Chains A and B, each alone.
Chain A
Amino acid sequence: MRSSTTGWLLLAPTIAVLVLTGVLPFLYVLAISFFDWNLFAVNPEPRWAAANNFRRLVHDAEFLKSIWLTLLFTLWVVASQVILGFALARLMMRDFPFKKVFRAVHTLPLMIAPIAVGATWRLMTVPGLGPIPYYLKDWFGIDYRLSMFPDQAFASVVVMDIWHWTPFVTLTILAGLSNLPQEPVEQARIDGAQEWQIFRDIVLPAMKPVLLTTIFIRIMDALRVVDEVWMLTQGGPGAETRFIGLHIWKIVFPKTDYGYGSAMSLLTLYMTIVICWLLYAAMTARKDRAS
């Protein structure tokens, strides 16, 4: 080990850049959230407002609705992706021709820009042009219009996210499954255990760390989804798919109500941290009980 001064010098540029682009904005948003500051107000100068902005938030129906929608969306996509991803990972564990090619194709959506994912699905769903509305009408007589039916819009956003992110779950679980020791499974088979018993009592417990990490990362990403939803539905119809990121970006931000917007940003950040922490607590609690 060498002198720590050189070490700090090597770390300094990274710390400086992250302070500039991460810490400073955070402190700034924290400070503004206690002020009344609206460029278009009668008095455009910042004025001390104590906790008024936060008090307003609690009664802001639009804000609360967007939080509720975000949580609902997160629940739907993460649950579907974990179940689907687990199934696909087990399929991928099998031996079949052209495995590498299929794996590469399956990985493709992960690398595509979210905004392009949104554009892709928009082209699939535009009435008159896209195949989805056409064939839903032709085969099932379903009238599919994203701009009119909230449930369809919400479901479409969920399906798009499943298309986009299931591969992530598949790949992480696949990595976990590949690193699993095979002896306990073989032993259980010799002892005459059923496949579902092996899955429940051996595979699933051993996969817990990988599963929880995957779920954790997926929840964090689902909570902050913006780009692809904007491209597909613009948050509509009305505000039915306007998730929290979209709400801050499209509704609060353009209003130049900086104090209130800051309070909302902070609360969103806080919510993310709390969910983060709850998940972490749940993870460690389980570990304690198991041991």
Chain B
Amino acid sequence: MTRPGQRWTTFAIWILLSLLTLLPIWWMFLVSVKQRADLFGKPSFLLDVSSMTWDNYASVITNPSFQKYMLNSLIVSTANAALVCALGLLAAYAMSRYRMKGKDNIFFWVLTNRMAPPAAFLLPLYLLYTGVFQAGEWSLFDTRIGLILLYCVLNLPFAFWLLQGIIDGIPAELDEAAYVDGASTWQVLRTIIIPLAGPGIAVTGILTWVFAWNEYLFASTLTSVNARTITTGLAEFVTVTGTNWGQMAAVAMLTLLPAALVLALVQKHIVAGLTFGAVKG
């Protein structure tokens, strides 16, 4: 359909657009490998290999508080992704295979949790975490468990939705046959649903992992010292006086790295994911 001349014009336009997309990220990378003395002056988008340095990355990675942030982010995202996949799978299976009164209402309610503006929930969550959800000296505030639980509001509706679509695609006859053979619900889940939904669960896990990794607002409000994540670490560079731009760029690069890495794995599912399946990719 496309005319040959149009083919190359389109190609040229997309090169230009890709440059626009990549330019800010490329600039950040340049800043992260520059020496302090080279930061200012005429900006150039070319990489000067002779004066390039990995010092910013080295000092960030060897910084103990940054190591802690990184570890917290890894633990929180991984645990949250695992949790929402497990809970989401059970709930999605129930939604897909059981006849229950009012399940459409439940379904709608679960999804509304995702739509709410997070800022509106900062205050009550802060008060609940510091004053209500506590046992003696211990409270949910500034704990990784607190964040892991909280990110369920964002990720569980999402996992639930995605997994339901996937389980709907598995023929119900398969589990019926297993039930006839005397299998329990748990056995059906383990031997039929989980293996067949495997790739879908993986995509769900990866996307929820990235969402949890990327979250900032709640992490900054509901943690203070012990459970801070990498996104809050990055934001701290801006608020302190005398910003160290090189190190900030290095942290930002490390923050966006996982997203860039998983992009290839989940690219096909991003559209369905971000629109809650309303638009099929």
Residues in chain A within 8 A of chain B (CB atoms):
1-4, 6-11, 13-15, 17-18, 20-22, 24-26, 28-29, 32, 88, 91, 94-98, 102-116, 119-124, 126, 128-131, 134-135, 163, 167-168, 171-172, 174-176, 179, 210, 213-214, 217, 220, 223-224, 226-227, 230-231, 234, 244-246, 248-249, 252-253, 258, 261-262, 265-266, 268-269, 272, 276
Contacts and interface: CB of A to CB of B under 8 A. Distances in A.
* Most chain B Cβ neighbours within 10 Å, of A17, A107, A253, A266: A17
Contact of A8 (B21, B94, B122, B237): B94
Nearest to B15: A102
Interface in B28-64: 28, 31, 39-40, 42-43, 45
Interface string B1-39: 110001110110110011011101101100100000001
A17 B90 contact: no
Q: Give chain B's interface secondary structure class.
A: helix
A280 to B, nearest CB: 12
Interface in B209-260: 210, 213-217, 221, 231, 234-235, 237-238, 245, 248-249, 251-252, 255-256, 259-260
B249 A123 contact: yes
A7 B122 contact: no
25 contacts: A2-B98, A13-B91, A17-B87, A22-B116, A24-B124, A28-B127, A28-B128, A29-B121, A107-B270, A111-B210, A111-B263, A113-B256, A119-B28, A119-B249, A121-B24, A124-B24, A131-B43, A163-B24, A175-B271, A175-B280, A226-B216, A230-B235, A253-B123, A262-B124, A269-B116
B88 interface: yes
A104 B2 contact: no
Given A10-B91, A108-B260, A131-B45, A113 B216 contact: yes
A107 B221 CA distance: 29
B88 A265 contact: no
Contacts of B264: 104
B98 A1 contact: yes
Given A102-B14, A113-B214, A22 B113 contact: yes
Interface in B170-191: 179, 185
Given A7-B94, A262-B124, A18 B27 contact: no
B255 A116 contact: yes
Contact of B113 (A18, A131, A230): A18
A28 B98 CA distance: 33
A174 B116 CA distance: 27
Contacts of A102: 14, 17-18
A21 B160 CA distance: 16
A114 B117 contact: no
A114 B100 CA distance: 39
Given A124-B24, A220-B115, A7 B18 contact: no
Contacts of B17: 88, 102, 106
Given A29-B124, A122-B238, A258-B127, A227 B216 contact: yes
Contact of A123 (B31, B153, B235, B260): B31
A247 B39 CA distance: 33
Q: Give chain A's interface secondary structure class.
A: helix
Contact of B263 (A21, A104, A248): A104
A93 B19 CA distance: 20
* Most chain B Cβ neighbours within 10 Å, of A111, A120, A248: A111
A261 B263 contact: no
Q: List 7 A-B pairs, minimum CB-CB distance, nearest first.
A: A7-B98, A245-B119, A111-B259, A113-B214, A10-B94, A25-B124, A224-B117
A265 to B, nearest CB: 4
A219 B27 CA distance: 30
Interface string B129-172: 00010000000000000000110110011001000000000000
B27 A14 contact: no
A14 B217 contact: no
Given A116-B255, A226-B217, A111 B2 contact: no
A227 B100 CA distance: 40
A30 to B, nearest CB: 9
Given A110-B274, A123-B249, A231-B238, A4 B98 contact: yes
A28 to B, nearest CB: 4
Contacts of B203: none
Contact of A21 (B42, B45, B88, B150): B150
A172 B152 contact: no
A249 B117 contact: no
Nearest to B98: A7
* Most chain B Cβ neighbours within 10 Å, of A10, A210, A231: A10
B90 A134 contact: no
Contacts of B221: 249, 253
Nearest to A168: B274
Contact of B25 (A96, A115, A120, A128): A120
